[in-house]
Chain A
Amino acid sequence: MKINLNKTIRKSLNNSHLQQLRLRFCLKNVILFILLSVLVSIVIYPIARLVVKSVIINSDFSFKSVQQLLRIGGLRSIFNTFKLAFTVLVGAWLVGGTMAYISVNTDYRHKKIINTLMFLTFTIPSYILSVSWIQITSRNGYLYRVLKTVFPSMRFDLNTYSIGAAATVLIVHLAPLVFFGLKNSLERLNISLINSARISGASRSQITAKIVLPLMVPSFISTGLLVFSRSLANFGVVAQLALPVGQEVLTTSIFSAVSSLNLGAACVLAVVLMVISLILYQAIDKISCRERYVFRSDQVNGSSFIRLGRVEGLVTSVLSIYFALTLIIPLVTIFLSSFVKRWGVPISLESLTLSNYLKIINGEIRVFRALFNSLSFGLIAGFAAVTIVSLTLFLAKNNRGKPISWALKICHLPIAFPNMILAIAAIFAWSEQPIKLYGTKWIIIITYVVLFMPIILKQVKGMVDNIDTSADKVARTMGIGFCRRFYHLFLPQCKPGLAAGFLTCLLIALREIPVSLLLYTNRTRTMGVMLFTVQSNSYGLEMTSTIAVIIIFLSMTLSLLMRKLNRGRGYDGSAAN
């Protein structure tokens, strides 16, 4: 009888199902539990509340908000959003694709300059580009003044404010994304395929049409979808250039709905935008996976370059005009405007002043406070995001199981949501008791953590995938604990990626507008809010330009630092935007 009982107990212990359910109170499990709780609280809970709020009004299930959405012209916003995103996509493909082709497939001499200038264009925040667009093209803008001097009797009517203007600025800003994406793919194109085709007698056009283009299609689509989703999520440029003439897109409609306390409509609009973004990111993920099988890392074969010959001069001229219009002139106008007493007054020695900078230094404009807020929120949120992501990756690297893969997925999830959605979700999640964070800095910091996690994950994931697990296994066999293995073995191996991710977070915190604009109070004003709101009765575009100069300087410094940290890992800066 005794033997039978032992057999039964052993049998039940051997039952694998029960073994899986058995709770093991080791540090790893406790950390995993805490991690999952934190991730569910800061990512899943706010998004779930947003979705629920969009259909439940006064505790009843209702589609009233949807009706309200239709009434306030939600469909028009959706149409405008797609119109904008599609225009930007085509423009960015055209500009970025041409540049990438010249940079990789031709013998053009100044490829390094193209790279650097594209990189610099990308480091300028899109909102600042839109400010310089106004300074150049508006009535009494710099272009208007020059034309008026040359042709005094002519009437000029430049369309400064429209969806088209917003699309133009976004094309300039997002073309580098396509450029870097396609350039990387073209450089990794398997040259042996081209050489084989050439040996078999294929012409250059045949090679392009039948080998290069089909191999490039996934890359075209994935960078295109990225540009498309970035255009959908953009707020600052559209608010500056299209909203003033009543042309709304989803992000500006959400902002207007929140401003006029129409929270039901804001929820529905947010959910629509969220669903579109999720679908796009799923598509990007799938295509990126397919891309891996298409490309192989090979050396670029110099003999396959297209010789530009006499056309090189023409290419140089076109590129010079492009970069003059999209980078040099905007930078010069912003810089010049920061030294005028008031934007709009004729430029002369008398109208130039240092007082805009002095106002910042003496505290009349509280830029230092905003800079401190941006940096401290960025530092704290960046540190928290680095901790969460590195712990999750460490657990995922050395263990398997559903909870760990859930944690990883939750960390990655916010990449699909535009910043505006994260802010709206935070408002609904943290505005009521018992955890009322709305109106404090913590709501911004928590939303930044959510925003930063997938960015850090993107920076570090590849590095962690290449780490050999045998060292950790040996350490575990020797009885070294979880914390020591994490700190002494894991962290040093992915330190450059974490550092670059951390700097990216700081860069985003420095220029981010939608999250802080919806969540700030008088004390928690950030640089992005400052830039967006400083233009008022007291200050014109000259003060916006002064703040822009500071942001451009800091952005470029941080971007160059990141580029240095990522050297050899193909950094394109895309994570920062």
Chain B
Amino acid sequence: MKKAISVLFLILVMVTFAGCQQNTIAEKNEKIVIYLSGPEAMLEKLETEFENEYGDVCEFLVMSCGQVKSKVWAEKEAGKIQADIIWGSDPAVYNVLSDEGVLEEIKIHNKSDLNSQYLTQNNYVLTHERYVTILYNKDKFANGSQPQSFSDLKNEEYADMLVMADANQSATALAIASSLYQMLDQDMDYFSDLHQNGVLLAKSNGQVPSKIMEGEFDLGIGPHDSVIRLKNKAKKEGFPMPVEIVWPTEGVIAINRPMAIIKKDRDTEKSELCQQFVNFILSKKAQQITYGFGFVSVRNDIENGYLPDNATIFQVDWKSAIENEDQFKQDYQEIFK
């Protein structure tokens, strides 16, 4: 028994140290290190497709949007960003990084294939678009009494029905909240009213459709793609999925997912690989994969089947969002405490 326990312990220690060695290999810059966020199944599929073509060359570090943002920020402050590529979160942080000269220029292979509205002047590319909408449980609003606009959510008839992600815990939720603030004429009272109306703050945006689907809440503010993924899952696993989307009358908030290459000393081959990876994500093959997971493509040749014709899009001013972020956070915390 003693011998067995000793052997088990030894094996565990060896495996743990072996894992450590793998880390070291990654740190020796033999692979491109990518900090990214997103649905794990989608990222796995993309990694497999890319590596089928280029070999085992990627090191994906999958995190939440907030973690990508905070890790990059902390590493930048410490003097060196460890990642070669960052992908996820919102454009606000990328604008700052681009302005500070931390990002490398990206050479897009077929620029004409991309929709011109998604091309930026900065050193990053936009890979997808998602829309912040109102989500609701269709079984609870069978008579069509669901809210039609973000402003409706303040009404007393929707008291204790609403769930949204907490901007204190999630970076995308912060982006959504500050976009709402911009769209509703910088009206901080909107959040006070939601608070008065009993809004629940979930840990992440992913939880919003889940909580509606499970019957805990009837309404939510969240990105549309999470509903698409939940619908796909419900279809596959055979359970009822009553969550639907309202495209608000004020317009839907468009949030783009950026990708950037970090400027650093690396050999030509690796630099080329980074450029290849970004171009792969913008390719039709990769964009079709991500479209299946609910993300709107930035390419001209993949139709946006998610956004209804009559919906208007509100484009966020990310520069202003980052400038006002501290004040917004402070006011938001004041309300939700």
Contacts and interface: CB of A to CB of B under 8 A. Distances in A.
Interface string B16-46: 1001100100000000000000011100000
A470 interface: no
A260 B19 contact: no
Contact of A256 (B168, B202, B226): B168
Given A260-B329, A538-B40, 17 more contacts: A72-B330, A140-B214, A246-B335, A260-B174, A261-B74, A344-B216, A376-B15, A379-B9, A432-B78, A441-B16, A522-B62, A535-B207, A537-B209, A538-B39, A538-B206, A538-B230, A540-B213
A197 interface: no
Interface of B: 9, 12-13, 15-16, 19-20, 23, 39-41, 60-63, 66, 69-71, 73-74, 78, 82, 160, 166, 168-169, 174, 195, 200-207, 209-210, 213-217, 226, 229-230, 233-234, 237-240, 329-330, 333-337
A541 interface: yes
Contacts of B195: 246
Contact of A440 (B23, B41, B215, B226): B23
Contacts of B62: 522
A376 B234 contact: no
21 contacts: A244-B201, A245-B201, A248-B337, A259-B168, A261-B73, A341-B237, A341-B239, A342-B234, A344-B214, A351-B239, A431-B78, A521-B61, A522-B60, A522-B61, A522-B62, A522-B63, A523-B23, A523-B61, A537-B207, A538-B39, A538-B229
A535 B206 CA distance: 8
B314 to A, nearest CB: 23
Secondary structure type dominating chain B contacts: helix
Nearest to B208: A537
Interface string A273-291: 0000000000000000000
B168 A260 contact: yes
Interface residue tally on A, bucketed by range: 35 or more
Contacts of B63: 521-522
A112 interface: no
Interface of A: 71-73, 76-77, 134, 138-141, 157, 161, 239, 243-248, 255-256, 259-261, 341-345, 351, 355, 372, 375-377, 379-380, 383, 431-433, 436, 439-442, 521-523, 533, 535-541
A258 B210 CA distance: 26
Nearest to B16: A376
A380 B17 CA distance: 11
Contacts of B234: 342
Contacts of A157: 160
A256 B169 contact: yes
Contact of A246 (B12, B201, B205, B238): B201
Given A261-B70, A537-B209, A73 B334 contact: yes
Contacts of B337: 72-73, 76-77, 246-248
Nearest to A353: B237
A140 B230 contact: no
Contacts of B15: 372, 376
A441 B20 contact: yes
Contact of B202 (A73, A244, A439, A540): A244
Contacts of A375: 12
Nearest to B226: A537
B333 A72 contact: yes
A540 B206 CA distance: 10
A535 B210 contact: yes
A534 to B, nearest CB: 10
A343 B214 contact: yes
